[in-house]
Structure 1
Amino acid sequence: MSQSSGHVVIAPDKFKGSLTAAEVAAHVARGLGPGVATVELPVADGGDGTVEAAVAAGLTRVEADVTGPAGNPVRAAYAWRDAGAGEHGPTAVVELAEASGLRRLPADGEGGAGLAPLTATTYGTGELIADAIRRGARRIVLGLGGSASTDGGTGMMRALGVRFLDADGQELPDGGAALRGLEKIDKSGLAAVGDVEFVVAGDVDNPLLGPYGAAAVYGPQKGASPEDVELLERALARLAAVAAHTHGLLGAIEHDGVVRPMGVAAQPGAGAAGGTGFAALAFLRADFRPGIEYMLDLLGFHERIEGARLVITGEGALDEQTLRGKAPAGVAAAAAKAGVPVVAVCGLRALGEEELAAAGITAAYALTDIEPDRALCVSEAGPLLERLARTIAQTRL
């Protein structure tokens, strides 16, 4: 249904491993029934599903053949919007996970051996950025999340013309581990990006280094052993140090065996997507914004909730991570400014009533409330969501 007075805005993130954000929104709308005017606005926070959410909201899907994280060819997409009123040029939404995500690694028997924590690259993400620049983008929104790599974004920058050299002046191989041998960064071939505005839309605030940094926190998720994590930490520290030495960027210092990030390396978000946030901040002079905040602006959320009587948001699991800038919390915060109540749907709820209320969520409805078998919650998520939506219609509308 089209937007009308007293409508319901359905703005969920994906249910990871089960339903896309658009599918969640569609099932909720179906469950509310034909008598309820709805606006479906699937959202994302910069990670997996960001491009899909942007396309569902009306942006154009653009596809390109690029390099996957293990050097494998992949067909990836970004979202495109021509300049709107008051904008200075076309906008491209580039999602790192599309080209360089864990889901893009070749599986065993498909020319690869699964996870590659030391050698995976973000080169394909840089190829998507280059394609968008050739198309005429003046603003590039870079969604960071779901990365297979811990290369500090060096692969992305290599695709844009930056060279990362060893002591003999030779180009380093792909991956984060090779950065241990970094001696010089040559930016002379950097593609013409001076007139392009870069915005990092991220869902994490980790710095590049240290116990909360890219290697320590996210390395194990990409298959890194404790030894690999130590190696990657040293490699990223080397990247920060060389960048500081050759380009005047404050990087990292070591004292009594403890590496302390400084300047760009210490900025919130520098550790996002295996350190790709650092490269975007340092070499592309990107602005960092919470992913959900920027995406809500881009998707016109504030205009679409005018006159709404309820907002329904959600994601696969409502837990502690939700409270740290994930999509439902961002949606609830934006809706609160407009005085519109918010409820959430989810697969699993791990937050109490007080925590939900503090996040601006009036109530949460979980699939596990009506189906204790979690395997069925995944396989039958759509029909179960429709049942939850019928309950919302009966109790909230």
Structure 2
Amino acid sequence: MTPATVVIAPDSFKGTATAIEVTDALAEGWASVRPEDLMVRMPLADGGEGTLDAFEIAVPGAERVPVTAQGPDNRPVAASWIRLPDNSAVVELAETSGIMLLDPLQPLDAHTIGFGQAIAAALDAGVTRLYLAIGGSSSTDGGAGALGALGARLLDAEGAPVAAGGRGLSDLASVDLSALRPLPDGGAIVLSDVTSPLLGASGAAAVFGPQKGATPDDVATLDAGLARLAALLSADPSTPGAGAAGGAGFGMLAWGATIAAGADAVGEVLHTADAVASASIVITGEGRFDGQSDAGKVPSYVRALAASGTAQPMLVAGAISADPVGFGAAVSLTDLAGSAEAAMSDTLHWLREAGARLAATVR
């Protein structure tokens, strides 16, 4: 049996396993069948939860810097950001303002103040470039909270600060950017796998508000508030990705950041293309492979890298509801376990089984 070089490059299985856990479990399963193969572990992310972990494990010399921030419901959150060896920083919105920090959900009042505070902490530390991972948000405030933490003043008709959160945008009458902190010299890049605009039927409130607990009336309130914010800032609300993270993409655009496809940008920094180019096989995955997976998510990014070389791409997902075109083999944990509930109750076990199943297909 000829040893193969196998790159394992999945995203997290949101809510059940981090990208690191997924990577390790797949590697263990694969090695149980083909122990002689060289395993290259490269957990990835698309800008959502786990982005900090991906950078920390893949970039030698990456340093995790602790920060205490104001969480989306105003409780303090112990979070962190990553300083890279080139003095750039990775800040993850999910760490400070993420939906997993809320119970219950607060669709009208959750905010992104903590995200802005973490960005400000990185700026205070003298970083020269920012990578802003904005997936997994809890709020629909258009990034207003983050902008406020960076020095912007969002005011009502009387000149008083509006309340934090999407509800507060209903009273917004003016925005004072005179004290807004400048971007670092190397700029800021927003990492996102979402291409939605800010407003309307395909915008932040309509598409993602219900996932954060918003009722139809809440969605209307939030969309109207975002429209008020958009009318007062210079960024284009129709920019693909402006609606990401409850409109935090728009807020960062208004600050001067640019938006990049999350998986591509993360992969570029981590040199994933080089790893895949030297591999015989590359395994990728995510919690659900569906019709949205081709819109800049990790599996489609890895598949494209494999297609440009000779590596055979393989897919593992918690559930597969779209045809896994372009993958040499694909395994659904739901199918292996017999049900979604069984797969989610012991995800790491079934990931190891999936790794073994894929290894057995190699001849």
TM bin (shorter chain):
over 0.9
1:168-317 to 2 correspondence within 5 Å?
168-193=158-183, 195-243=185-233, 249=234, 264-283=236-255, 285-317=256-288
2:310 corresponds in structure 1 to: 339
* 2:113–2:149 Cα contact (<8 Å) kept: yes
- Label 1:311 to 1:77 Cα distance change in 2 as closer, same or farther (>3 A): same
Residue 366 in structure 1 maps to residue 337 in structure 2: no
Quote the offset at 1:196 in angstroms.
4.3
* 2:276–2:305 Cα contact (<8 Å) kept: no
2:30 corresponds in structure 1 to: 32
* 1:165–1:182 Cα contact (<8 Å) kept: yes
Quote the offset at 1:79 in angstroms.
1.8
Residue 63 in structure 1 maps to residue 66 in structure 2: yes
* 2:280–2:310 Cα contact (<8 Å) kept: no
- Label 1:192 to 1:325 Cα distance change in 2 as closer, same or farther (>3 A): closer
Secondary structure in 2 aligned to 1:190? Answer: coil
Q: Distance in 1 between matches of 2:305 and 2:88?
A: 23
* 1:6–1:307 Cα contact (<8 Å) kept: no
Deviations 1:219-258 (A, max 9, x none): 1111111111111111111111122xxxxx26xxxxxxxx
Deviations 1:157-181 (A, max 9, x none): 1111110011111111101111122
Secondary structure in 1 aligned to 2:80? Answer: strand
2:5 to 4, 7, 32: 7
Q: Distance in 2 between matches of 1:303 and 1:136?
A: 30
Q: Distance in 2 between matches of 1:361 and 1:62?
A: 38
Quote the offset at 1:279 in angstroms.
0.9
Deviations 1:245-272 (A, max 9, x none): xxxx26xxxxxxxxxxxxx101000000
The one-letter code matched in structure 2 to 1:92 is A
Q: Distance in 2 between matches of 1:27 and 1:335?
A: 22
* 2:13–2:19 Cα contact (<8 Å) kept: yes
Quote the offset at 1:78 in angstroms.
1.6
Quote the offset at 1:22 in angstroms.
0.5
* 1:144–1:203 Cα contact (<8 Å) kept: no
Q: Distance in 2 between matches of 1:72 and 1:335?
A: 44
The one-letter code matched in structure 1 to 2:245 is A
Quote the offset at 1:66 in angstroms.
0.4
1:19 to 17, 20, 23: 17
Residue 102 in structure 1 maps to residue 89 in structure 2: no
* 1:207–1:271 Cα contact (<8 Å) kept: yes
1:258 corresponds in structure 2 to: none
Quote the offset at 1:335 in angstroms.
2.1
Secondary structure in 2 aligned to 1:19? Answer: coil
Quote the offset at 1:194 in angstroms.
5.2
* Percent of matched pairs sharing the same residue: 43
- TM value normalised by structure 1: 0.87
* 2:45–2:54 Cα contact (<8 Å) kept: yes
- TM value normalised by structure 2: 0.95
Secondary structure in 1 aligned to 2:196? Answer: coil
Q: Distance in 2 between matches of 1:286 and 1:76?
A: 22
Secondary structure in 2 aligned to 1:175? Answer: coil
1:386-397 to 2 correspondence within 5 Å?
386-396=352-362
Q: Distance in 2 between matches of 1:57 and 1:296?
A: 10
Q: Distance in 1 between matches of 2:278 and 2:230?
A: 49
Secondary structure in 2 aligned to 1:321? Answer: coil
Q: Distance in 2 between matches of 1:307 and 1:152?
A: 42
Q: Distance in 2 between matches of 1:81 and 1:338?
A: 29
1:73 corresponds in structure 2 to: 76
Quote the offset at 1:137 in angstroms.
1.2
* 1:150–1:273 Cα contact (<8 Å) kept: yes
Quote the offset at 1:287 in angstroms.
1.4
Deviations 1:49-84 (A, max 9, x none): 11122112133222110000011100112222021x
* 1:182–1:242 Cα contact (<8 Å) kept: no
The one-letter code matched in structure 1 to 2:139 is S
1:254 corresponds in structure 2 to: none
The one-letter code matched in structure 1 to 2:98 is G
Residue 319 in structure 1 maps to residue 290 in structure 2: yes
Query: C-alpha root-mean-square deviation of aligned residues, in Å?
Result: 1.4
Secondary structure in 2 aligned to 1:120? Answer: coil
Which range is displaced more, 136-145 or 65-74? 136-145
Q: Distance in 2 between matches of 1:370 and 1:396?
A: 19
Q: Distance in 2 between matches of 1:125 and 1:307?
A: 37
Which range is displaced more, 323-332 or 199-208? 323-332
Deviations 1:72-125 (A, max 9, x none): 100112222021xxxxxx1111111110011112x3xxxxxx111111110000
Q: Distance in 1 between matches of 2:182 and 2:215?
A: 38
1:256 corresponds in structure 2 to: none
The runs of at least 4 aligned residues of structure 1 exceeding 4 Å deviation read none
Secondary structure in 2 aligned to 1:268? Answer: coil
Which range is displaced more, 382-391 or 126-135? 382-391
Q: Distance in 1 between matches of 2:223 and 2:182?
A: 31
